[in-house]
Amino acid sequence: MHLGIGNFTRAHQAWYTEHAPDADDWGIAAFTGRRPDTADALAPQDGLYTLITRNAEGDSFEVISSISAVHPASDTEAFLGYLRDPRTAIITTTVTEAGYMRGADGHLALGQPDVAADIQALAADPTATVTTTPGKVVGGLLARRAAGAGALTVLPCDNLPDNGPTFRAVVEELAAQVDPTLQQWMEDNVSWATSMVDRITPATTDAEREAVAAAEGYDDASPVPTEPFSEWVVAGEFPAGRPAWEQAGVTVVDDVYPFEQRKLWMLNGSHSLMAYAATIVGHETVADAMADPTVRGWVEDWWDVAGAHLQVDADDVRAYRAALVDRFENPRVRHLLAQIAADGSQKIPVRILPALRLERAAGRLPDGPVRALAAWVLHLQGHGAPVKDARQDDVVAAAQGTVAEATTRLLEMLGADVLPDDELIAAVAARAEEILALEGSATQS
Ligand SMILES: NC(=O)c1ccc[n+]([C@@H]2O[C@H](COP(=O)([O-])OP(=O)(O)OC[C@H]3O[C@@H](n4cnc5c(N)ncnc54)[C@H](O)[C@@H]3O)[C@@H](O)[C@H]2O)c1
Ligand SMILES: O=P(O)(O)OC[C@@H](O)[C@@H](O)[C@H](O)[C@H](O)CO
């Protein structure tokens, strides 16, 4: 089962499952996370869609058939039905960082209205329709326990550090409010796996639909564009089995952390930096931003800092960084910075602030992470990409006033992995001024 079908899972988990040698034994029953769009588009195509791999030299097209059913998020009957079936072995998720429903303290946001409503609904009726992902999983596991359908694995595939334990914590916290007896059953029956996922997968536009029609001669309402590179690193137990993913290129390890830290800081960190800073300068896509020597210099500044703290050897960091340049410069992957900019309140704390905290602890204040933070503050003040955030009202309110005031409030609000101090605040304000001096310059040339 997959929760949160969108473009990424169709370029990644579904692609690995398609290419596993035992693919015929497996199928993915996918649910959208909130809106029914993807289910509406894919159901008439029997879950089939075209994956467009965009090489610098041209496109290749592949029909993916590993998604055997697609349901809207609201289809509770189907959802519980799969979990009552012992053949369901794995729940994967791509519900975005915001979908984990965590508060600033990292725990389940119990006061959040959707979370509170799910707890109330499940306590009254364990088969109730609920809307948050932790709520759905608790309802699903209650149904699985009642059906005696046995063990399974939960395998999150979102860009979050420690996504397995993180997801486990919010599910257990919600379960404790609904039915504390589920805890022991989960301990005996649920394996929480962790994964690092990587494949740059932009949103679909009409250009992709037209490309499929022109090259392949059929209409696909929902093709997925992606890059040639793909990586999936997985740790965990699969008591009910899994596709032979390792034969399709998945790396199975005991500890995902070094892979995840490298990817979240180097790739996603520089993505966030560009999403805020380069949209202020006037760029629209990652490739445009990378072609601007000033922005490229900002990215290199960030990589110098982030790379120095990774738990992988220096040669590996160099190779990863060189590969990222090629991936970001791929002219055929049109990855909109505005898409990456969403939900900074969930991303900045895991992509940028850990390296900044390490630098502050060592008495340093390097430009790379300070500039990324400054650019996010400016973004929240209305510069560059439009603000779209799971904590929209809170972050926009906190960002009022001067950059110094805004930065202080935002760092305090984020739970202070990095505490605001005078020197840091002055540095953020100085980097912000430099970025603002270039506002709109790319669109004026
Ligand atoms: N696109 C990429 O390049 C990429 C690469 C690696 C990892 N990811 C991970 O996959 C996630 C989804 O990316 P995508 O490109 O498929 O996006 P998408 O917009 O195509 O799909 C997002 C899915 O998440 C659901 N969703 C959104 N907010 C939710 C919420 N608050 N609660 C529950 N469900 C919610 C949506 O309904 C949809 O089903 C990302 O947030 C990221 O964590 C994406
Ligand atoms: O998908 P998000 O919103 O978590 O982050 C936006 C991008 O940084 C991200 O999608 C990358 O393209 C991806 O993580 C590459 O594997």
Confidence of residue 383 (pLDDT cuts 50, 70, 90): very high
Q: Is the pLDDT of residue 175 over 70?
A: yes
Closest C-alpha residue for ligand 1 atom 40: 96
53 Cβ below 6 A of ligand 1 = no
Closest C-alpha residue for ligand 1 atom 22: 6
Counting from 1 in the atom list of ligand 2, the atom nearest the Cα of 268 is 8
166 Cβ below 6 A of ligand 1 = no
Q: Measured between alpha carbons, how far apart are the two ends of the chain, in Å? A: 49
Closest C-alpha residue for ligand 2 atom 15: 200
Spatial CB neighbours of 154, under 8 Å, sequence gap ≥ 6: 90, 91, 93, 137, 164, 167, 168, 171, 190, 191, 192, 193
Domains of the chain: 2-255 (3.40.50.720), 258-444 (1.10.1040.10)
Among the bound ligands, name the one nearest to the CA of residue 94.
1
Among the bound ligands, name the one nearest to the CA of residue 167.
1
Ligand 1 centroid vs 311 CA: distance in angstroms? 27
State how far the Cα of 357 lies from the Cα of 23, in Å rounded to an integer.
Answer: 44
pTM over 0.90? The answer is yes
Q: What is the pLDDT of residue 202?
A: 96
- Ligand 2 shell residues, CB under 6 Å: 97, 159, 198-200, 267-268, 271, 340, 342
Q: What is the pLDDT of residue 174?
A: 98
Helices 403-413 and 422-437 meet at what angle, rounded to 10? Answer: 120
Q: What is the pLDDT of residue 57?
A: 87
CA 134 to chain centre: 16
Confidence of residue 418 (pLDDT cuts 50, 70, 90): confident
Q: What is the pLDDT of residue 414?
A: 86
Closest C-alpha residue for ligand 1 atom 20: 6
Ligand 1 centroid vs 181 CA: distance in angstroms? 31
Q: Is the pLDDT of residue 410 over 60?
A: yes
Q: Is the pLDDT of residue 445 over 60?
A: no
Q: What is the pLDDT of residue 56?
A: 83
Counting from 1 in the atom list of ligand 1, the atom nearest the Cα of 38 is 39
State how far the Cα of 115 lies from the Cα of 111, in Å rounded to an integer.
Answer: 7
Ligand 1 centroid vs 418 CA: distance in angstroms? 27
More confident position, 444 or 328: 328
Among the bound ligands, name the one nearest to the CA of residue 201.
1
Q: Give the angle subtended at the CA of 302 by the CAs of 54 and 438, to the nearest 5°.
A: 85
Question: What are φ and ψ of residue 264, in 5° steps?
Answer: -65, -40
Q: What is the pLDDT of residue 152?
A: 98
Ligand 2 centroid vs 109 CA: distance in angstroms? 23
Q: What is the pLDDT of residue 444?
A: 62
307-344 residue pLDDT tens: 999 999 999 999 999 999 999 999 899 999 999 999 99
Q: Is the pLDDT of residue 299 over 70?
A: yes
Q: Is the pLDDT of residue 243 over 60?
A: yes
Confidence of residue 443 (pLDDT cuts 50, 70, 90): confident
115 Cβ below 6 A of ligand 1 = no
Confidence of residue 416 (pLDDT cuts 50, 70, 90): low
Ligand 1 centroid vs 271 CA: distance in angstroms? 16
Ligand 1 centroid vs 95 CA: distance in angstroms? 5
> Is the separation of the CB atoms in 20 and 244 below 8 Å?
yes
Ligand 1 centroid vs 156 CA: distance in angstroms? 11
Which one, of 78, 76, 53, 80, lies nearest residue 68 by Cα? 78
Paired sense of beta strands 58-64 and 49-55, if any: antiparallel
- pLDDT mean across residues, the chain: 96
253-295 residue pLDDT tens: 999 999 999 999 999 999 999 999 999 999 999 999 999 999 9
Q: Reduced to 3 states, what is the DSSP secondary structure of residue 394?
A: helix
Q: Is the pLDDT of residue 419 over 90?
A: no
Average pLDDT over residues 406-426: 88
113-172 residue pLDDT tens: 999 999 999 999 999 999 999 999 999 999 999 999 999 999 999 999 999 999 999 999
Question: What are φ and ψ of residue 59, in 5° steps?
Answer: -100, 150
> What DSSP string describes 180-242?
TTHHHHHHHHEEE-EEEEE---PPP-HHHHHHHHHHHSS--SS-EEE-S--EEEEES--TT--
83 Cβ below 6 A of ligand 1 = no
256 Cβ below 6 A of ligand 1 = no
7 Cβ below 6 A of ligand 1 = yes
Q: What is the pLDDT of residue 105?
A: 85
Q: Is the pLDDT of residue 420 over 90?
A: no
Q: Is the pLDDT of residue 21 over 70?
A: yes
Confidence of residue 417 (pLDDT cuts 50, 70, 90): confident
Ligand 1 centroid vs 434 CA: distance in angstroms? 33
